[in-house]
A and B are shown apart, each in its own frame.
Chain A
């Protein structure tokens, strides 16, 4: 049973005062239902993802207490990919015809905080100043730059592109372009990554309506098909976040395995992809993820970024809505924002940031602690 996306909805990302995550989730679901031309009682089941909200299913009290099965998921930065995959799998299995995946979050400003022992890190890991995702991303890109000849200017160009794309996106958190010079000159947080090269935790929600592909035309003339959803955790040998050690015998990051499996599931390769969403927790992550997802060889990013290949009008548009750098990261919603953007792009509804030439294949990747990656592939 294949699966189609018939509706997408978003609550803007940013900071929204007293508005609760649940209320933002309700806004996103209502928008997705309207987009699909259905109402809440048509929805047979749902999966809801969040980091801050224990029970995203409380959103049903805003939409109607219809008694449907509504399952809550949390899976780090891959939470939204997990909600999407579980929703798709429930339809693929034949159990349901139509369901909703929703993600919502409302984070305080500043870096995320948790107890390191919950990540299987040593109990002293936080006390001693190691329990910081930003530090991990900096160490990973610093080594990568050394091995593959990537410059700090390339990192700044990636961030500048994402701010520029965010300026074209009315739902983005950061809507002001920032120059390469200002990005490089902003405060160093973790060498070589400066303040403006990082995304920030914020608030927002996103929702997607999925149904059996053979029923999609009842609802829309422009269904987008979900061709692959894969999730992988780290293998022994991967250099990963929140770890006090790494093996000398290196293995690839979980993204590499999730990506290969997704291409296999979809029956396509990276050369077939028209528009890309990558986890840009920081500008360096976007650079590394370009290679980990098969879009270029290690080191080619230096030339690709300089040539503008990853711009909206380039041959390999990446993070056309501004990515995490311009949208921030409400963890539960982030991956469904990616899907929202890809669906708009594949329908030709992305407005000022529309990728030219009628893109037909979209690709989304998430990565997060303690070493989990999710990939989704969508086609017209």
Chain B
């Protein structure tokens, strides 16, 4: 079955070790995610495509425990909605990136814990296409051991 990223060039895919695609300012070196048309620090338009480190540490987190309004497009209903974790992970010393977490169980999350980028299912379209997204998984748990509560 085909698996398709939710948007082009947000993460490298297909890949055994997917990386997020950010931007690095050619003028001031500021790193952001995703790649922006210009730099948020200095305004330069010389922002280059820049692959971000795969691992980092959990800077903060929360849970999303109610179904977001449109434009949320997971295909879930209030009845089928499953809460998901969201956090900011500091990738290397480059940038803090917001992403879904592979667990929504706060008992399994700690500030500063090591996380890595994984690609997980987000939704199945009517034609059977699996839409995938990036997420952050605790390194100790690995993708297989992660609670998939937030993903479908």
What is A's interface to B at a CB cutoff of 8 Å?
110-111, 113, 115-116, 122-124, 126-132, 135, 138-140, 142-143, 146, 187-193, 236, 239, 243-248
Contacts and interface: CB of A to CB of B under 8 A. Distances in A.
B86 A130 contact: yes
Contact of A139 (B69, B72, B87): B87
A113 B95 contact: no
B72 A191 contact: no
Contacts of B74: 129
A129 B61 contact: no
A139 B86 contact: yes
Contact of B65 (A131, A187, A236): A187
Interface size, B (range)? 35 or more
A129 B64 contact: yes
B64 A190 contact: yes
- Of B7, B74, B96, most buried by chain A (CB within 10 Å of CB) is B96
B106 interface: yes
B28 to A, nearest CB: 9
Interface in B41-98: 41, 59-66, 68-74, 84, 86-88, 90, 93-98
B100 A129 contact: yes
B60 A140 contact: yes
B88 A113 contact: no
Contacts, number: 109
A115 B22 CA distance: 22
Contact of B60 (A127, A143, A187, A193): A143
A130 B98 contact: yes
B122 interface: yes
A128 B63 contact: no
Contacts of A188: 63, 65
Given A123-B7, A139-B61, A248-B90, A131 B33 contact: no
10 contacts: A123-B7, A124-B10, A132-B64, A135-B64, A138-B62, A142-B61, A190-B65, A236-B41, A244-B97, A247-B41
Given A138-B62, A140-B60, A127 B72 contact: yes
A121 to B, nearest CB: 10
B148 interface: no
A245 B34 CA distance: 8
A140 to B, nearest CB: 7
A41 to B, nearest CB: 44
B63 A191 contact: yes
B62 A248 contact: no
Nearest to B76: A129
Given A127-B72, A192-B62, 12 more contacts: A123-B7, A124-B10, A126-B68, A126-B71, A127-B73, A128-B100, A129-B72, A139-B62, A139-B88, A143-B59, A244-B98, A247-B41
Interface in B97-125: 97-98, 100, 106, 111, 122
Given A123-B7, A248-B90, A128 B61 contact: no
A246 B31 CA distance: 9
A188 B7 CA distance: 31
A146 B69 contact: no
A116 B70 CA distance: 11
B32 interface: yes
B6 interface: yes
Nearest to A144: B60
A139 B60 contact: yes
A113 B61 contact: no
B78 to A, nearest CB: 12
Nearest to A136: B62
A247 B111 contact: no
A131 B71 contact: yes
B30 interface: yes
B40 interface: yes
A123 B9 CA distance: 13
Contact of B96 (A115, A191, A246): A246
